[in-house]
Amino acid sequence: MATDPVPRKEVSRLLQKFWAEVQEMLFPTWQDCSCCQDSLAQNGRSWGRSGLCRNCLLEIERLNEELVQCDRCGKYLKEAPSSKEPLLKESSARARKEKGTESVICENCQNQAPLFLQAWNIGPYEGLLRQAIHDLKYKGRRDLALPLGKIMAQQLWLAVPNSSLLNPWGDLKGAFLVPIPLYSEKLLRRNFNQSFLLAKAIEEETAFPVADILLRQADTETQAHLGRYDRLRNLEGQFVLQPQGLLGQKGSKTKAKAAILVDDVYTTGATVTEATKVLHQAGITSVYVVTAAAGIGL
């Protein structure tokens, strides 16, 4: 005897419930702002899920105003370098117009151009932004990935290379988001990868798909006390492609030509440089970077 089909409204309700549970798992609801500890209850459930109150979100969004920033790697400089390069062809015309200044290239990028095309971030790694990233990584505040990821998505939108009315995503059209991986043992200890959560939040805003295709082969020495050269040497050969995934079999080429690496903090660029090498080997010619924060004067 045939059974009656499940009503369409019931299917829709079940799907909405399932999606709400997935969101709660990835970005759980919190009661207090991570930065100022003010209650989020009066702001409603959406602010509880964001983990940050409206005032702190606005302050984080304003962090990079009036700062000298490298237009290639996105680092913040204590002062503008004495030598200025011509405007980069891949720089966003919209971003240059808003700045009203000629392009500034830091000393590191002048001495050795990065393998990636361009990197963007929310602001300098200090103050509220530093606290939010710290709480996300070390205090289990997974909810903070959502507001940070949304602001990272805004930075992508403002900096799109070669955008137009007919092609608003410009050179980023068809790109996918590649989170920087954690070593498996560290992932088990932390129970989540902050870069993956940031990428998922960006995906919600941009519809760029997340491709978790990189593996980290070892738990390398902590990078905090290392200089740029030692960081590069420390990470050499640490990333490989997943055996299977969006790119297909390990080591195979892909038709995708653009990828956006996602990480929490850009310091010397050693991590994203090593990841860019692997993506280039897979046939991805255009690699960009977006992070929640970048260092100052590094």
pLDDT tens for each residue of 226-249: 556 666 666 777 899 987 655 544
Q: Write down the pLDDT at residue 226.
A: 59
Confidence of residue 66 (pLDDT cuts 50, 70, 90): low
d(CA 48, CA 63): 22
Instruction: Give the DSSP H or E segment for 285.
Output: none
Q: Which tens digits make up the pLDDT trace of 236-293?
A: 778 999 876 555 444 445 567 899 999 999 998 999 999 999 999 999 999 999 999 9
pLDDT confidence of residue 88: 42
Mean pLDDT confidence for 177-204? 94
Cα-based distances in Å from 277 to 223, 229, 261: 19, 16, 12
215 bridge partner residues: 240
Instruction: Tell me the domains of the chain and their CATH numbers.
Output: 67-294 (3.40.50)
For the cut 60, the answer to whether the pLDDT of residue 89 exceeds it is no
Q: What is the pLDDT of residues 99-118, one digit of tens each?
A: 555 678 998 899 989 999 99
Q: What is the pLDDT of residue 45?
A: 40
Local structure of residue 293 (DSSP, 8 states): E
Under 8 Å between Cβ of 132 and 293: no
Answer whether 272's CB lies under 8 Å from 244's CB. Answer: no
Q: Which has the higher per-residue pLDDT, 251 or 8?
A: 8
Residue 238: Cβ within 10 Å count:
19
